Amino acid sequence: MDFLVSVQLSQYNLYVQNIKRLLVLTFIILLAGCSGRGISAQDPSQQIKIIENKGSDTIVNLALAWAEEYQVIDPTVQLSVTGGGSGTGIAALINGTVDLANASRRIKEEERNAALENGSDPVEFVIARDAIAIIVNLENPIEHLTLQQISAIYSGAINNWKEVGGEDRPIVRLSRETNSGTHVYFLEEVIRLGEKDNHTLFAQNTLLLPSSEGIGAEIRQNPNAIGYDGLGYVTDEMKVIGVALADGEPYIFPSARTVNNDQYPIARDLYMYTNGEPEGVIKEYLDWILSSEAQEIVTELGFVPITK
Amino acid sequence: MTMKLSARQHKQRLGFSLLTLMTFLTVIPIIGVVIYIVYLGFPAINLEFLTGFPREGMRDGGILPAIIGTFYLTLGTAIFAVPLGIGSAIYLSEYAPDNRATKLIRIAIINLAGIPSVVYGLFGLGLFVLFLGFGTSILAGSLTLSIMTLPVIISTAEEALRAVPQAFRTVSMSVGATKWQTIRKIILPQALPGILTGVILGLERAAGETAPILFTVAAFFLPSLPNSPLDATMALPYHLYVISTQVPGMPIKIQYGTALVLLVFVLSMNLIATTIRSRARAKRQW
Amino acid sequence: MKSKQITGKESGSSIREFLITALIKAAGYSAILFVGMIFFFLLLESFPALREVELSNLLSSRWYPIEDYYGVLPLVGGTLIITIGATLIALPFGIGTAIYLSEIAPRWLRDTLKPLVEVLGGLPSVVLGFLGMLILSPYLRIWLDIPTGLSAFAGAILLGGIAIPTVVTVAEDALDAVPKSYRDASLAIGATEWQTIWRVTLPAARSGVLTAVMLGIGRAIGETMTVMMVTGNAPILPTGLKNLFSPVRTMTATIAAEMGEVANSSTHYHVLFLIGIILFLISLAVNVAASAVVFRQKKSQGHILS
């Protein structure tokens, strides 16, 4: 027994040695990481300022592209960009944890009140515009729909493509999650046709996908599906539907031109909110965003630049 | 030897074939998935991908911040969960009397194991992020993950401790060692491989989870590496979720590349754990 | 030699012994503390929901929180139907694989296959969801001729897959822990290996195998990212088996998808915590039931062994 114990002990020592080596290695990596960052942070000539930017998933890619570009223009400013939804960004602005909130919808009355109670006063900037494209599978023969038809499809009144002149197929409705500003906009302006006292809801079997890519993936392979998404998310693997305001009106396809001349009926503004009037680096950043240089990036990403 | 198989041997043959079939039906898709990810992800792997920051709206460049973030989170989880988990396992295997309180502890552990990861996320948000004011941070995320991994560590470690034959304890105590000396010098060394396996399996789960870090640490994009435990960080699983669902026009190479890195990260931990265990099993003398 | 060293070096340090014992004891009880804390926090944050939302609203079959429809039944139903589906897949495959690996497979095969199965457990759920969304669901739509492959069935298959490694690992460990002498005795009195497995080994490892199944179910109930990506998330109240092939929304996916959006302390926020506590209580019920069986089993086993 004694012998056995000592044999096992030597094994144990081997294990302990290995663990020690592992720990030392970890420590070295950590130290290296810390010292590397320490040098850059201590450089006195470059006082890094951080702008926290959070909110709408619709805007997050645009905000990211801006942030990357701005890093080149002014390396002393670091932008941290996070998505999560328009409400998330505004909530964070109210709590004072971010400097800039991205929103694909206007701030709600109750959110503004909550902000005022918390001693912050959100100021609104329109930073770009977005067309919401109605998309279907490439195999779907449907070319265009009226707003009323889209509303009827999404509210569950129309359940088969043949009712709008298509093939005999069930309709699978795709929507973004309820936390998306796009979802709210679609509900108010398309399903309820912009009518204030209209309380129509999404059909209960509408698929709520957590992301634009989820919608894209399903549209690409499912000929039953219909979806909607920001123009920036549309690729040539899906078919964009022409939309008419009403029966008899012209069918318009979404583009920068049809959005800016108000022809395309499903378009909206995209916003950034600051806590009080912006100052210093935040103001500089916002000014740059509204410049034609930054608005070019808007076009590149498939959104609609604001025209001054 | 008679060549005729008896009825019960027939039954055995049939049963064995069925079980074999089931095993391979389980294993083959796994191999398929791994090969698929390696095949599509490997072309993305290069030095820049592993050591660079994301560029072009994360469509290009590297995933270093996510790798580092997951590393920090795993480390943070280990700091909290390992001592607590092993301590708890020692208590249960060596000290705990057979009474109601111990039974309650066991039920609590089983329950911790059963709590959905997203509920840990809720709890972490409620307690660490909001109530204790840690904000979305590595600290909040690590604490959340460590409570989640605790049951895995405790139950594996306890099993390993219990497997040490009673004779070892008796002998040690009989030569005058105290209980703690016995545990530290005799029982722990014996059970170490099993304990390590449990620790690594627990941490592996922490490294791969997305739901608990959704509201407690994860950031979509950060331009710099985290500087303190109170910073938010990017993390591999959340990054994979983001680039596979939130960013349009994402090159498939980057998606599978990130999946591959996460897979390698998690699987190498798994491999270490299983190697330790099978070696220990082979060496076991009792 | 060795034993002398041990006693010589550290005798008399009874304070240290006492402190360490106390620490270990505290660690031992920590699990109860954590469960209590989690329960308390969920309760605290979900309580206002019961005050702010009428019960008839909570028990309705419509979930649309941005318009104050807080019916949680479709979500509970969604979780149940997916969990049942996943269990039906994971149970036979998981236990079958465990038996094969522990009792039948030659050693080299076991040492190759078991790590491979554990690989599946290591596959991050996001990866599985990603593959499920891009590969599994399109095929399901075509094979089963359903309007969309994003359905409870897709979720059940993936969750079954996620639960299998847990079941296999824990069950195989339990089977492996059955002393060899049990099997030898059984074989010696003329039983076939097959009979030994079913009449001796499996019953002896019953509590471990049961734990394995419960842990597997627990993982299925709690899985979030995968279901969020493949089940379509439509909050429809399942009324029968046919709903297995239509989209569903689970409680976990609802929390993950919506928690990021809600303002702290809003009604919606509290209702999401209420869903959290429902999930907590379901897992509690499942686990307490399981451990009751385990404890009873342990007692009877004790009689046999002693």
Q: Is residue B14 part of a domain?
A: no
pLDDT averaged over every residue in chain A: 82
Q: Is the Cβ pair B175, C211 closer than 8 Å?
A: no
Q: Is residue C50 part of a domain?
A: no
Which of the four pLDDT bands, split at 50, 70 and 90, describes residue C278?
Answer: very high
Are the C-beta atoms of residues B136 and B98 closer than 8 Å to each other? no
Q: Is residue B5 part of a domain?
A: no
What is the phi-psi region of residue A267: left when phi exceeds 0, alpha when psi lies from -120 to 50, beta otherwise? beta
Q: Is residue C258 part of a domain?
A: yes
Pairing of strands A100-103, A49-55: parallel
- Mutation to test the C interface, candidates A56, A184, A218, A220, most C Cβ within 10 Å: A218
Q: Is residue C41 part of a domain?
A: no
Indicate the burial class of A35 (C-beta count within 10 angstroms; 0-12, 13-18, 19 or more).
exposed
CB neighbour list of residue C280: distance below 8 Å, 6 or more residues apart: B115, B116, B119, C38, C39, C42
pLDDT averaged over every residue in chain B: 84
Q: Which residues of chain C does B90 touch, with a Cβ-Cβ cutoff of 8 Å?
A: 24, 27-28
Across C134-162, average pLDDT = 90
Tell me whether B22 touches chain C (CB under 8 Å).
yes
Indicate the burial class of A47 (C-beta count within 10 angstroms; 0-12, 13-18, 19 or more).
exposed
Whether A43 has a pLDDT exceeding 50, the answer reads no
Q: Is the Cβ pair C122, B204 closer than 8 Å?
A: yes
Total number of domains in chain B: 1
Q: Is residue B150 part of a domain?
A: yes
- Mutation to test the C interface, candidates B34, B123, B182, most C Cβ within 10 Å: B123
What value, to the nearest 5°, has the Cα angle with vertex A182 and ends A177 and A184?
80
Across A233-244, average pLDDT = 89
Q: Is residue C242 part of a domain?
A: yes
Tell me whether C38 touches chain B (CB under 8 Å).
yes
B11 or C75, higher pLDDT? C75
Amino acid at C244: L
Whether A58 has a pLDDT exceeding 90, the answer reads no
Q: Which domain holds residue B159?
A: 63-283
Tell me whether C127 touches chain B (CB under 8 Å).
yes
Closest residue in chain C to residue A205, using alpha carbons only: C234
Whether C104 has a pLDDT exceeding 50, the answer reads yes
Distance between CA atoms of A126 and A267, rounded to whole angstroms?
Answer: 13
Across A179-188, average pLDDT = 84
Q: Is residue B10 part of a domain?
A: no
Domain CATH code at residue B142: 1.10.3720.10
Q: Is residue B233 part of a domain?
A: yes
Are the C-beta atoms of residues A235 and B248 closer than 8 Å to each other? yes
Q: Is the Cβ pair B193, A15 closer than 8 Å?
A: yes
Q: Is residue B12 part of a domain?
A: no
Structure token pair of residue A6: 């000592």
Tell me whether B225 touches chain A (CB under 8 Å).
yes
Residue B114 distance to chain C (closest CA, Å): 5
Whether C284 has a pLDDT exceeding 80, the answer reads yes
Q: Residue C291 is nearest to which of B15, B106, B236, comparing CB atoms? A: B106
Q: Is residue C16 part of a domain?
A: no
Distance between CA atoms of B210 and B214, rounded to whole angstroms?
Answer: 6
Q: Which residues of chain A does B250 touch, with a Cβ-Cβ cutoff of 8 Å?
A: 213
Q: Is the Cβ pair B15, C194 closer than 8 Å?
A: yes
Q: Is the Cβ pair B274, C214 closer than 8 Å?
A: no
Task: Name which of C233, C220, C228, A132 is nearest B116 in CA terms.
Answer: C220
Residue with tokens 């298509």: A166
Domain CATH code at residue C200: 1.10.3720.10
Q: What is the pLDDT of residues A114-125, one digit of tens each?
A: 888 888 889 999
Residue C103 distance to chain B (closest CA, Å): 10
Task: Name which of B99, C269, B57 is nearest A60 in CA terms.
Answer: B57
Across C170-184, average pLDDT = 86
Whether A275 has a pLDDT exceeding 80, the answer reads yes
Whether A168 has a pLDDT exceeding 60, the answer reads yes
Whether A92 has a pLDDT exceeding 90, the answer reads no
Q: Is residue B44 part of a domain?
A: no
Q: Is the Cβ pair C263, A5 closer than 8 Å?
A: no
* Reported pTM: 0.82
Q: Which domain holds residue C210?
A: 55-305
Alpha-helix runs per DSSP H in A104-236 = 109-117, 147-155, 181-186, 212-221
Domains of chain A and any CATH numbers: 48-129+270-300 (3.40.190.10), 130-267 (3.40.190.10)
Distance between CA atoms of A34 and B227, rounded to whole angstroms?
Answer: 8
Task: Name which of C106, C30, A68, A99 is nearest B23 in CA terms.
Answer: C106
Are the C-beta atoms of residues B120 and B143 closer than 8 Å to each other? no
CB neighbour list of residue B105: distance below 8 Å, 6 or more residues apart: B88, B92, B96, C28, C29, C31, C32
Q: Is residue C40 part of a domain?
A: no
Q: Which residues of chain A does B222 touch, with a Cβ-Cβ cutoff of 8 Å?
A: 80-81
CA distances, A175 to each of A129, A132, A201, A263, B75 (Å):
20, 12, 12, 24, 39
Neighbours of chain C (3+ CB pairs under 8 A): A, B
Total number of domains in chain C: 1
Q: Is residue B140 part of a domain?
A: yes
Closest residue in chain A to residue B171, using alpha carbons only: A1
Q: Residue B189 is nearest to which of A12, A84, A232, comparing CB atoms? A: A12
Are the C-beta atoms of residues A289 and A66 closer than 8 Å to each other? yes
Distance between CA atoms of A123 and B158, rounded to whole angstroms?
Answer: 57
Closest residue in chain C to residue B162, using alpha carbons only: C177
Structure token pair of residue B69: 């973030």
Task: Specify which residues A239 forms β-bridges with.
Answer: A136
Share above pLDDT 90 across residues of chain A, in percent, rounded to a whole number = 32
Task: Specify which residues A175 forms β-bridges with.
Answer: A208
Alpha-helix runs per DSSP H in C223-266 = 225-230, 251-259
Alpha-helix runs per DSSP H in chain A = 2-42, 57-73, 86-95, 109-117, 147-155, 181-186, 212-221, 256-260, 280-289, 292-300
Look at residue C306 and give its three-state secondary structure: coil
What is the number of other CB atoms lying within 10 angstroms of the CB of residue C153?
24
Q: Residue C27 is nearest to which of B11, B84, B119, comparing CB atoms? A: B84
Q: Is residue C8 part of a domain?
A: no
Indicate the burial class of A109 (C-beta count within 10 angstroms; 0-12, 13-18, 19 or more).
exposed
Q: Is residue C93 part of a domain?
A: yes
CA distances, A226 to each of A136, A187, A201, C118 (Å):
5, 15, 17, 39
What is the number of other CB atoms lying within 10 angstroms of the CB of residue B119?
28
Which of A 173-202 lie inside 8 A of B, CB atoms? none
Q: Is the Cβ pair C126, B240 closer than 8 Å?
A: yes
Are the C-beta atoms of residues C283 and A234 closer than 8 Å to each other? no
ipTM score of the complex?
0.84
Residue with tokens 């470690």: B157
Q: Is the Cβ pair A211, B223 closer than 8 Å?
A: no
